[in-house]
Structures are given as C-alpha cells and as structure tokens.
Amino acid sequence: MFMEVAPDMRVVTADKLELLGSPLLAEAVEGALMKKVGQTQVLADQLGILPTHQAIFLLKNCLSLPKLLYLLRTAECWQYPDALQKFDETIRSKAEQLTNVSMTNTVWEQAALPTRFGGLGLVKAADVALAAYASSLHGVADVVHSIVRSNSVQEKCTRLTEAWTSCYTADAPRTENRRFQSAWTAVQHTRTATRMLENADVITRARLLAASSSESRAWLAALPVSIFGNLLEDAHLRIAVARRLGAPVCQPHVCRCGSTVDSLGHHGLVCKLAKGRHGTHAVLNAATKEPSGLDRGDGKRPDGVTAFPWRNGKPLVWDVTVADTFAQTYIGHTSRVPGSAAEVRENQKLRKYDGLADRYVVQPLAFETTGTFGPLTKKFFKDLSRKICECSGNPRSGEFLRQRISTEIQRGSAVSVLGTFNEMRDNEDVFLAFRLADRE
Ligand SMILES: [Zn+2]
C-alpha cells in the first residue's frame, strides 16, 4: 500500500541500514565488515604496479587499519572476530606477496605490532577492534548522557571495560585516559612485545630490542621517494623487512670469502669482502676525504673536521663506525641494551682520538647494522637536528635527517648481504634475474 503511494521510496532492510557510513543495527555490522574486506582486496591488488617500498608504505599507512578504523570506532565490530580475521588475513597475504617475505605465524605476530614495538605497523583489526569501540564510546559518553539523560551509555562503557579486562587479563587504562584508543592498545602491544622478548633467544632478543629503537624504525616512516634518497630497491626492501622480522633472508650458502652464511644473512654484515659495509660508511660520512693535519702519529685520521668552531671555540672532528648488532663480540650487550654495540665503538673512538681532545670536540658517530645509534651519536644528532631546524625553519628537518640515515643503514646492510653471493655479483644477468624474482 505504502509503495503504491510512494513508488520511488527506497526500502532499506535492517542488515543494510547505515548512518554516515556506519551500520545502525547489529544485523548490519558483519555485512559492512565484509564489504570492507572486498574493497581492501581490490585496492591492495593495485599495489603490485608500484615499487615494493612504496606499495608497503601505502598498505601500512592507507589501506590496512586506517581504512577500517572509522567502522571499528562507530560499530561493535569486535563482536565479529571471523570477519575481522578475514580482513587481517587479506593484509597478511598482501604483505607477504609484496615483500616476498614468508609471513609465518611468528613473523606475522611481530609484523602486526606498531613500529615502536618492533613491528612493521600492519596492526591487526582483531587486536584493536574492542579498544577502538571502547575508547570511542568513553569519549562521547558524557555528551550522550547530557542529551538522553539515561545511564545506558555509562553502563555500556562499564560492560566494554569488563569485556576488555577479561579478554586481555590486564587493568583497564585510568578513567581519564579511556577515551584514547592508544591508552588501551599500548597495554595490549606492550604485553605482546614483552612476551616475545621473554620467549626469545639472545639473537632474537637483540633483534627485537634494536627493532624497537626510534632510529632503527625511522626508515619505515620515511616517504619512499627516490629524489629524497629514501626509496629502497625491491631486493633491499625485502632484506630490510626480513632482517627486522627475523625471517629467512637467503638460502644458507658459502660466502665469496669462504665463510658460511646462514639463512639470516648475518655473515654479510661482518664479512671483510662485503661491499655494503664500506658503502654505508661512505654514505654516513659527509666528508669524502679525511682531513689532513689531524694525524695522531700513526697515520690514522678522523673522517672529518668542521671548518668553523662547533663548541667552546673548538672545531668538531668526527669519525664514523658501524658495528654489527649480532657480532659475537657484542651480542652479550645488544641482547640486553639496544645500541650497546655502538656504545662500545663510541668509547673506542674516544680513546683513539684522546690526543685531539684538547684542540677539538671529538665526536664518534657509531651506528649498528640494525639501525640503532650509540648514546653519544644520538645526542649529537639531537643537537645537530636542532641547529638544522633553526636554519631551515622546518621543525621536521631533524626527523628527515634521521629517516635518511636510517634508510641508508638498511640499504648498506642489504647490499652487504647480497655481497656474499660471489657469482651473482660477477654475472649481472643472474643477479638481475634474482632481483626480478623478488618482485613476483
Ligand atoms: Zn664473507
């Protein structure tokens, strides 16, 4: 009868009912989630035409969780774990396909952590769905209460808090912080990262600690554009991702120097014949020629000196060094404190240039192959960043410098690993085929 009077009226069933793009009723939530899975699949399939580094950057920052977050915050998606898992599996398989790194359960567990916890930042929807909805509801509870004058919203907030507490067996965030999603997820991610560290052997511990440091993850935040020097080649990106997540980097083989290279490619970082080690040193060092007149008497000179006084009327001399996080000498340190291999090298450099200390500010620049900095190096870059920001007027200049260095270390480490393949370096055709295979 009604349709006869208004034939053009659109009839919307409960499972399709939406307001501002969010399902209004519980019947519509699962369908809305599955629609997102389909859309994400279509968009993610388009990423294959881009260089891998750009594709993975877009997957992380635009297509994965960011695409779903509005829905997670406005509807009770957390009640539909199967649909959330389908979404997460779509992202996992796309990440595996793009990076050519096998996303086994252990690898994926780390990849799905935010970068500051050592992951790739491909955070799982299933992990944040409850936190997203609970924080969203806590954020609007007071306003809703002032409009509807009912306690139903507060009661729902309490129920959600209890659900979260029992699910994660942890205390809920403080009341004033419950409107922040990050307050809830930080607890979850800290628990996951701590558990991974507790179950790890020394090599894995060193890797996880290094991956969480702000310097070693800076490359993941860099805009992957070649003109800025921040775009990693596909083969380098694959190795950087695999080394970060502890996935196999290559088949075990014999290095061109005769040593054995394991599947994690560690030997490449300490091999005397690896090209990347020298390349990294050269790129990290701004001076191309060691300055004359700074000889300590044994023919060894620091890498560079400033033309003008740096501090207290003294010019700055610097010397660059890159230590391998996993080297036998350092693993005892780095499996407890990230950056401690670089710290040992800093102290060695200070002793080495002790004779120059009365005329110069001696600055060791010590990095690790995983991308961490020594404590003195970190402090130096903080000072340098402040100076660059003052000159450029851009408050992010320091961050851009850190991203650039971080990218360069990843590139150098990848080149070092590839440098262990003697025959591939000598035969460009095979090497090219190997690199092309990375993209498929
Ligand atoms: Zn070697």
User: pLDDT, tens digit, for every residue of 254-275?
Assistant: 888 888 899 998 888 888 876 6
CA of 353 from ligand 1 middle (Å) equals 30
CA of 208 from ligand 1 middle (Å) equals 25
CA of 371 from ligand 1 middle (Å) equals 21
CA of 206 from ligand 1 middle (Å) equals 22
CA of 416 from ligand 1 middle (Å) equals 9
CA of 401 from ligand 1 middle (Å) equals 31
Work out the pLDDT band at 294, boundaries 50, 70, 90. Answer: low
Work out the pLDDT band at 354, boundaries 50, 70, 90. Answer: confident
CA of 66 from ligand 1 middle (Å) equals 43
Using a 10 angstrom Cβ sphere, with 0-12 exposed, 13-18 middle and 19 or more buried, the burial of residue 364 is buried
CA of 237 from ligand 1 middle (Å) equals 21
Strands 361-368 and 314-323: parallel
CA of 227 from ligand 1 middle (Å) equals 32
> How far apart (Å, rounded) are the C-alpha atoms in residues 355 and 371?
30
> How far apart (Å, rounded) are the C-alpha atoms in residues 72 and 350?
53
> How far apart (Å, rounded) are the C-alpha atoms in residues 184 and 207?
26
pLDDT one-digit tens code per residue, 192-204: 999 999 999 999 9
Alpha helices, DSSP H, located in 149-201: 152-168, 181-198
Segment 59-64 mean pLDDT: 93
CA of 419 from ligand 1 middle (Å) equals 8
Alpha helices, DSSP H, located in 9-121: 26-45, 52-58, 65-74, 81-99, 105-111
CA of 100 from ligand 1 middle (Å) equals 24
Work out the pLDDT band at 428, boundaries 50, 70, 90. Answer: very low
CA of 328 from ligand 1 middle (Å) equals 15
CA of 266 from ligand 1 middle (Å) equals 10
CA of 420 from ligand 1 middle (Å) equals 6
Per-residue pLDDT at 431: 45
> DSSP secondary-structure letter at 64?
S
| Phi, psi angles (nearest 5°) of residue 323 | -105, 150
Using a 10 angstrom Cβ sphere, with 0-12 exposed, 13-18 middle and 19 or more buried, the burial of residue 31 is middle
**CB of 165 within 8 A of CB of 172?**
yes
Segment 45-55 mean pLDDT: 94
Closest CA to 111 of 161, 65, 145, 77: 65
Give CB contacts under 8 A, 24+ apart, made by 43-46.
43/67, 44/90, 44/91, 44/94
CA of 220 from ligand 1 middle (Å) equals 28
What is the rounded average pLDDT for all residues in the chain? 88
| Phi, psi angles (nearest 5°) of residue 366 | -110, 125
CA of 259 from ligand 1 middle (Å) equals 5
CA of 257 from ligand 1 middle (Å) equals 4
Decide: helix, strand or coil at residue 305: strand
> DSSP secondary-structure letter at 250?
S
Radius of gyration from C-alpha coordinates of the chain = 26
Structure tokens at 123: 């955070």
Residue for token pair 């990423």: 47
CA of 78 from ligand 1 middle (Å) equals 50
> How far apart (Å, rounded) are the C-alpha atoms in residues 289 and 322?
18
Using a 10 angstrom Cβ sphere, with 0-12 exposed, 13-18 middle and 19 or more buried, the burial of residue 71 is buried
**CB of 63 within 8 A of CB of 87?**
no
Strands 18-19 and 361-368: unpaired
Q: Give Cβ neighbours of residue 5 (< 8 Å, ≥ 6 apart).
A: none
Residue for token pair 């690896």: 274
Per-residue pLDDT at 426: 47
Per-residue pLDDT at 107: 96
CA of 334 from ligand 1 middle (Å) equals 22
Task: Give the start-end residues of each E strand in 355-398.
Answer: 361-368
Per-residue pLDDT at 186: 95
Through-space distance between the first and last CA atoms of the chain, rounded to whole angstroms: 59
Per-residue pLDDT at 437: 46
CA of 275 from ligand 1 middle (Å) equals 10
CA of 256 from ligand 1 middle (Å) equals 6
CA of 303 from ligand 1 middle (Å) equals 25
pLDDT one-digit tens code per residue, 362-390: 999 999 999 999 999 999 999 999 989 99
CA of 270 from ligand 1 middle (Å) equals 7
Residue 239 above 70 pLDDT? yes
CA of 63 from ligand 1 middle (Å) equals 40
Decide: helix, strand or coil at residue 325: coil
CA of 421 from ligand 1 middle (Å) equals 9
Using a 10 angstrom Cβ sphere, with 0-12 exposed, 13-18 middle and 19 or more buried, the burial of residue 186 is middle
CA of 300 from ligand 1 middle (Å) equals 25
